């Protein structure tokens, strides 16, 4: 059954077994399963589980990194199939996304980036611990419709405000919509710092980006 395969896939991600993830993803495609379902209910489920365990101190950073790498192996195989089936390769818009300075968390951001790619957006995932000035430089270079700022720790949340302020100072704020996310963030925080939107998970983030692009 497809649900059993998705459970096996989630477990392979938890174990950081990239080779097994690759095999299971290929099997899922052979069964004509929806690639987006494979990502959200298989890969993303596994990576969220590892993230939760890491937050509780039950696993180590290396486990988190291996799970992230296993997920990337799977999404690299699945995304071309999503685009081929759904968007015919046409980009719905350009998204630049990264985790703010002082914060090395990648899992949540990578899930969001993956789901946005699957939806048909052209995504530039510039990584973690990104200084304010680099965000601004990348906005100038890529000219994205949307800038996504991730923060997974309360102490790094102010960096989201600093990036927005620097965009304003450089006269770039009006050229890009800014969406924020991360466990400690909220809609109230987004409004306080002048962001255009907030999302608490990958699915709602994709929906919010679509709304902002269509405005």
Residue 84 DSSP symbol: H
Q: Tell me: the pLDDT tens digits for 50-104?
A: 877 877 889 887 888 888 889 889 988 987 887 544 444 467 899 999 999 999 8
Q: How far apart are CA 117 and CA 6, in angstroms?
A: 20
pTM, 2 dp = 0.73
> 51, 86, 121: which is the final residue of a domain?
86
**Co-location of 47 and 100 in the same domain:** no
As a whole number of angstroms, the distance between CA 12 and CA 3 comes to 14
DSSP label of 94: E
| Integer Cα distance of 181 and 159 in angstroms | 12
Give the pLDDT confidence score for residue 84 in this predicted structure.
47
Q: Write down the pLDDT at residue 83.
A: 56
Residue finishing a domain among 86, 107, 131: 86
Q: Are both 66 and 144 inside the same structural domain? A: no
Inter-residue contact 116 to 87 (CB < 8 Å): no
- The stretches of 143-201 forming alpha helices (DSSP H) are 158-169, 187-193
DSSP reduced 3-state for 210: helix
Residue 200, domain CATH: 3.40.50.280
Q: Which of 52, 69, 86 is the C-terminal boundary of a domain?
A: 86
**CATH code of the domain containing 42:** 1.10.1240.10
Read off the pLDDT of residues 124-183 as tens digits, 9 standing for 90 and up: 999 999 999 999 999 999 999 999 999 999 999 999 999 999 999 999 999 999 999 998
- Note the pLDDT of residue 45: 87
Lookup: tokens for 55: 């937050």
Number of domains into which the chain is organized: 2
78 and 98 inside one domain: no
Residues 53 and 158 in one domain: no
Is there a single domain that holds both residue 133 and residue 210? yes
Mean pLDDT of 36-52: 85
82 & 166 share domain = no
Cα maximum dimension of the chain: 55
Q: Is the pLDDT of residue 185 over 90?
A: yes
pLDDT, tens only, 1-29? 688 999 999 999 999 999 999 999 999 99
Structure token digits, residue 96: 């630049």
pLDDT given at position 87? 44
Range of the domain at 168: 94-214
CA distances 117 to 58, 78, 95, 203, 206, Å, are 31, 11, 9, 12, 9
Sheet order of strands, 197-199 included: 122-125, 94-99, 146-150, 177-181, 197-199
Question: Do 70 and 106 belong to one domain?
Answer: no
**164 within 8 A of 178, measured Cβ to Cβ:** yes
Residue 34: how many CB atoms within 10 A of its CB? 17
């Amino acid at each position: 059954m497809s649900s059993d395969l998705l459970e096996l896939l989630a477990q392979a991600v938890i174990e950081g077994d990239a080779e097994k993830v690759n095999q299971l993803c290929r099997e899922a495609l052979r069964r004509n399963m929806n690639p987006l379902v494979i990502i959200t209910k298989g890969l993303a489920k596994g990576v969220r589980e590892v993230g939760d365990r890491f937050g509780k101190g039950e696993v180590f950073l290396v486990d988190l990194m291996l799970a992230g790498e296993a997920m990337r192996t799977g999404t690299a195989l699945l995304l071309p199939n999503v685009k081929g089936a759904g968007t015919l390769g046409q980009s719905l818009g350009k998204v630049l996304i990264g985790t703010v300075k002082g914060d090395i968390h990648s899992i949540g951001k990578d899930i969001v980036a993956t789901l946005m790619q699957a939806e048909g957006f052209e995504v530039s995932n510039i990584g973690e611990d990104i200084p304010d000035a680099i965000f601004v430089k990348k906005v100038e270079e890529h000219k994205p419709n949307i800038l996504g700022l991730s923060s997974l720790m309360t102490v790094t949340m102010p960096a989201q405000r600093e990036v927005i302020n620097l965009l304003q100072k450089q006269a770039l704020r009006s050229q890009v919509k800014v969406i924020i996310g991360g466990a400690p963030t909220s809609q109230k925080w987004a409004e306080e710092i002048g962001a255009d939107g907030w999302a608490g998970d990958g699915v709602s983030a994709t929906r919010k980006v679509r709304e902002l692009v269509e405005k």
